[in-house]
Structure 1
Amino acid sequence: MELTAFDKELLNLLQGHLPVCSRPFARLAEELGTEESVVLQRVQELKREGYLRRIGTFFDSNKLGYHGTLVALRVEPEHIPEVADAINGYPGATHNYEREGRYNLWFTLLTPNEQQEKSIIAQVRTLPGVEDVLNLKAHKKYKINVQFKLQ
C-alpha cells in the first residue's frame, strides 16, 4: 500500500495531536476536511498494513502515584515468545521487546507500589526459560518524544 498525502497528514496528527475528547476522530476529520468515517477507515487500514501499532495517550505515571522500572531478562531463546506473552498479561507491563545480547528480553513495568513490582518480578523470574532478571530502576527520568514528520 502506498501512503497518500491524506495518510501522511493523518499520521502526522496522530503522532502528537490526537484530541482528548469523546470523539477524537471526528475532531481530526474536521482538521483534515473530511468525515469521521473516512478517518476511522484509514486508521484501520494503516493499522492493518503495519503503519500504526498503537494509538494512545501518555500520562505522567509519577504524578498518578505509579513507579516505573525497566526489567532485563536472560531467556532461553526457544522460550522468548511464551515469556513475552506472559509478560503482556501483567497489569502495568507497558511493552516488551527482544534484544540481541546476553539479556535478550526487556520490558517496562509501572506499578502503584513496590510490593506489586516485587511480586510481578518474582513471578516473571519463575517463568519457563527465564535464567536471570535485572531490575533496572531509574534514578532520573529522561523522556524523548520522537515524531516522524511525513511530507
Structure 2
Amino acid sequence: MTIAEKQHNTALNTEQGYQLDSLDRNLINLLQHGLPVCENPFAQVAEEVNSSESIVIDKINNLLEQKILSRFGPMFDAACLGGAFTLAAIAVPEERFDEVNDIVNSFEQIAHNYKRTHEFNMWFVIATETEQEIAQVVNDIEAKTGLSVLNVPKEEEFYVGLYLPV
C-alpha cells in the first residue's frame, strides 16, 4: 500500500466533523491554482501529489460530499462568452431558508448560492445567455418564492486572485 493510499484510507470522521488529511490539504492547495488543461488532468494532479488518479478523484468527491468544498468545476465569464450575469440577494425569513434555497437552486441559471449573516441572507449569481433572461429569472424566482429579489449587476470588475491555503 502506498503512502497516498494509507492517507486516503485513514481520513478521520470525528465528532467535530471531517478531518482533512495531508492529501486533502495538498489537493485543495494545488487545485486552487487551476486544473491542468491536458488529456488526463486528474492523472497529472495525482503525479504532482504522489498519488493515483482514482484516489484523487475519490478525494475530490469526498470533499464535496463532506461539504468541505462547496463546488468543483470551471468558472466561466458569461459576459465574455456573449451572455450575462448578475449578483442577486433575497431577505429570506429563517424558517423558510431551506425551502427558498431549494427553489433558487432549482434554476439552471443559478451559478452558486451562499447564506450570509445580513438582512439579505441569501446571495446568488444568475448567469444567462442574455440580459433579458436575467430579468425573467428574477421575476420567476420572485413568483415562486413570494419574496423580492435584489438585483446587483456588476459595474466594474476587479481580479482578486484569492488563494486560501489549508
Q: Provide the TM-score with structure 2 as the length reference.
A: 0.77
Please say if residues 69 and 137 of structure 1, whose CA atoms lie closer than 8 Å, have aligned partners that are also in contact.
Answer: yes
Q: What is the root-mean-square deviation in Å for CA atoms of aligned residues?
A: 2.0
Contact (CA 8 Å) 2:113, 2:123: kept in 1 or not? yes
CA distance in 2, matches of 1:73, 1:45: 30
The count of corresponding residues between Structure 1 and Structure 2 is 149
Tell me if 1:143 matches 2:163.
no
Moved over 4 A (4+): none
SS in 2 for 1:91: coil
- What SS is found at the alignment partner of 2:134? helix
Quote how far apart the aligned CAs of 1:88 are: 0.9
The answer as to 2:129 corresponding to 1:108 is no
Q: Secondary structure at the match of 2:144?
A: coil
Q: 2:43 aligns with which of 3, 26, 30?
A: 26
Change (3 A) 1:50 1:133: closer
Return the structure number with greater relative CO, CA threshold 8 A, min gap 6.
1
Q: Does 1:7 align with 2:24?
A: yes
Alignment deviations for residues 97-151 of structure 1 (CA, whole Å, 9 cap, x no partner): 2223332222111111122111111111112341x2221111111232322223x
Q: For the structure 1 residues 145 and 92, does the alpha-carbon distance in structure 2 shift closer, same or farther, using more than 3 Å as the test?
A: farther
Distance 2:63 2:117 in 1: 29
Q: Normalised by the size of structure 1, how large is the TM-score?
A: 0.84
Aligned counterpart for 2:86 among listed residues 69, 72, 76: 69
CA distance in 2, matches of 1:68, 1:137: 7
Percent of residue pairs identical: 34
Give me the whole-angstrom Cα distance separating, in 2, the residues matched to 1:128 and 1:46.
Answer: 31
Return the alpha-carbon distance in structure 1 between the equivalents of residues 20 and 122 of structure 2. Answer: 32
Question: Structure 1 stretches of 5 or more lacking a match?
Answer: none
The one-letter code of the counterpart of 1:139 is E
User: Does residue 1:133 correspond to 2:149, yes or no?
Assistant: yes
1:35 aligns with 2:52: yes
Distance in 1 between the 2:103 and 2:152 partners?
20
**1:51: which partner in 2?**
68
Q: Give the whole-Å Cα distance in 2 for the aligned partners of 1:105 and 1:49.
A: 21
Q: Name the CA shift for 1:74/1:38 in 2 (closer, same or farther; >3 Å).
A: closer
Gaps of 5+ in 2: 1-11, 13-18
